[in-house]
Amino acid sequence: MTDTSRIALVTGAGSGVGKAAALALLAAGWRVALAGRRPEPLQEVAQASGVAADRYLVVPGDVSDEQSVQAMFAKVVAHFGRLDLLFNNAGVNAPGVALEELTLAQWQNVVDINLTGMFLCIREAFRVMKVQSPRGGRIINNGSISATTPRPNSIAYTATKHAVSGLTKTASLDGRKYDIAVGQIDIGNAATDMAMRMAKGVLQANGEVAVEPLMDVNIVGQSIVYMASLPLEANVMFHTVMATKMPFAGRG
């Protein structure tokens, strides 16, 4: 298939990492379905890309709702005919409060979107990719470096991101028989609205508040394009891209 025949679906495409990934894929020649809760930001991203209208599709939806996810994937297949890549990106955080102060509703919201939502999208992508011709495709899950190491006061986010690694490993195993390659990108301190608080100072493991370096979010888009460009016989199962000087490795 030529570049312009490859079809991607990006969840959480209206801002941040999802926006950067969608723009990078469009620039690389992909046709991209942009998914998110609100259509207006998705349309703005699509128009900002400068590509022809037949290269993108705006598909509003809620990844935590099973019927919404099913409808979203059905629209993509009806419009483009197939799906070659899912960037499973949509995610939220909970307020940075002490563990004992986190409410059940705040916990459940993060679980519903970051974990259940990611599962629902993986399941629907499997259902599409296993029966299309040519068969197969690629799924890239957004894990975050919180899939490896927590920050203080982050139990809901960290727990779900650790769980994403389990989703990735199991889906990678279960996808083999369908030629579905599943990998994960773990991102550290990309300059998005969600991460800009790092530049103002954030709580560290030793109790201090420190400013942390950020990297251009477009670097993440480049990483997604690289992972997506591989033939299905190869897979980047875990890829970490982070601001070089952020406090991740070492003691703190």
- Active site residue ranges: 157
Determine the Cα–Cα distance for residues 96 and 195; give it in Å rounded to an integer: 13
Determine the Cα–Cα distance for residues 57 and 60; give it in Å rounded to an integer: 10
DSSP per position, 71-136: HHHHHHHHHHS---EEEE----------GGG--HHHHHHHIIIIIIHHHHHHHHHHHHHTTSSS--
CB atoms within 10 A of CB 197: 11
- To the nearest 10 degrees (0 to 180), the angle between helices 16-27 and 218-229 is 50
Among 189, 117, 113, 199, which Cα is nearest to 146's?
Answer: 189
Determine the Cα–Cα distance for residues 245 and 66; give it in Å rounded to an integer: 40
DSSP E strands, the chain: 7-11, 31-36, 56-60, 85-88, 137-142, 180-188, 202-203, 209-210, 238-242
CB 246 within 8 A of CB 162: no
CB 136 within 8 A of CB 232: yes
